Amino acid sequence: MQEKFPGLGLDADVLGLSLLQRTTDERFETGHFGVQSIGATGDGKVEFVGFAAHTLALVNSSMGYPAYYPVYPIIENQPVKAVLMDLDGTTVHSEEFWIWIIQQTTASLLDNPNFELENADMPYVSGHSVSEHLQYCIGKYCPDKSVEAARSFYFQHTHREMKNIMQGKGRVGAFKPSEGVKDFLLFLKDMDIKIGLVTSGLYEKAYPEIVDAFKVLNMGDPKDFYDAIITAGFPMRKGQEVGTLGELSPKPHPWLYAETARVGMGISFAERGSVLGIEDSGAGICSIRLAGFAAVGIAGGNIKESGTERLCRVYCNDFEGIIDYISAKNGKKRKKHASA
């Protein structure tokens, strides 16, 4: 059977994609110029354009900068030498905290301290970049405001809360290590598998999260533990010369995962079959796949809701399932650790 999306899968039904007649940017149309099929993930963040011999992926952008990427086939039958892990929702549970910061920011824009987000807002205020979250809230609640004004309030709230958290007096329960994550990390060390931490979060947001989580887990300094830690960098603000590309190239773009493997760990593109990426979000799963790596989904995020479960090499309910998968793939038995 001819693949409708070469490098990705046979057809939209198998992949869980919604069929489209044309891409949202109207660049490609089914049946024209060699396009045999177009399908979108459930959340519409990524659209796949299938040709006879290859597939392109369109990553949409609420900031006005969409991009196309080639879809690479997954290389099979290579032992796992490196694991790249998402931070929020996978390693640490902090989503509620950052949604609360978005809510506080929107309340400041509206000058209404009693403002609260609605349940329908949840898929749009997590899993993507800060600016995309803020753009969504502006579009729905205060269209007369700018992203720049929102970012100013956002970082005011962030600086205050992160400072309080690092001083041990911040929001209670803000950052919780995921269940089983310590045993999983130690399992990877025992297997001599490199470990990279990958996040779309800006450094000043992300690093206190993992520092706080490692304190809870009694695992020391995360810089000494991980082989590479890649964040979205530093925010661009007025009067600051150093900025970041993270706001326009977050997940589901492939760059954070690609940089962690190639630059952070020195793993060449030809060795990509030895790399696994672990994510709880649909945007993250697409990011891993577009970087050319096999994606492992873990329950608890929005993978099923975003329609990306079938883009995963395997989908597990917990870290125990991932340990079993890696052990079987590498043909080794795990060592048991007593959690501290």
**CATH code (residue 215):** 3.40.50.1000
Residue 174 has pLDDT above 80, yes or no: no
Residue 122 has pLDDT above 60, yes or no: yes
The reply to whether 171 falls in a domain is no
Least confident range of 84-93, 96-105, 164-173: 164-173
Percent of the chain residues past pLDDT 90, beyond the cut: 66
The reply to whether 76 falls in a domain is no
pTM, full prediction:
0.83
Q: Which of 144, 166, 188 is the last residue in one of the domains?
A: 166
**In a shared domain, residues 215 and 87:** yes
Query: 241 or 52: which carries more pLDDT confidence?
Result: 52
**In a shared domain, residues 184 and 297:** yes
For residue 232, give its domain range. 82-93+178-330
**In a shared domain, residues 194 and 301:** yes
Confidence grade of residue 340 (pLDDT, cut at 50, 70, 90): very low
Say how many C-beta atoms besides its own lie within 10 A of residue 330's C-beta.
16
Overall average pLDDT of the 1-25 stretch: 85
Overall average pLDDT of the 213-225 stretch: 92
Least confident range of 5-14, 36-45, 154-163, 182-191: 5-14
What DSSP character marks residue 127? Answer: S
Least confident range of 19-28, 102-111, 207-216: 207-216
**In a shared domain, residues 99 and 89:** no
d(CA 90, CA 281): 9
**In a shared domain, residues 118 and 63:** no
Overall average pLDDT of the 7-11 stretch: 83
**In a shared domain, residues 46 and 161:** no
- Nearest of 340, 262, 257, 273 to residue 313 by alpha carbon: 273
**In a shared domain, residues 248 and 301:** yes
**In a shared domain, residues 161 and 183:** no
Residue 95 has pLDDT above 90, yes or no: no
Q: In this predicted structure, what is the pLDDT of residue 205?
A: 80
339, HSE (Cβ side, Cα atoms, 13 Å): 11
Question: In 263-335, at which residue ranges do the beta strands (DSSP E only) sit?
Answer: 275-279, 294-298, 314-316
**In a shared domain, residues 156 and 239:** no
Number of domains in the chain: 3
| Per-residue tokens: 233 | 């960098």
The reply to whether 256 falls in a domain is yes
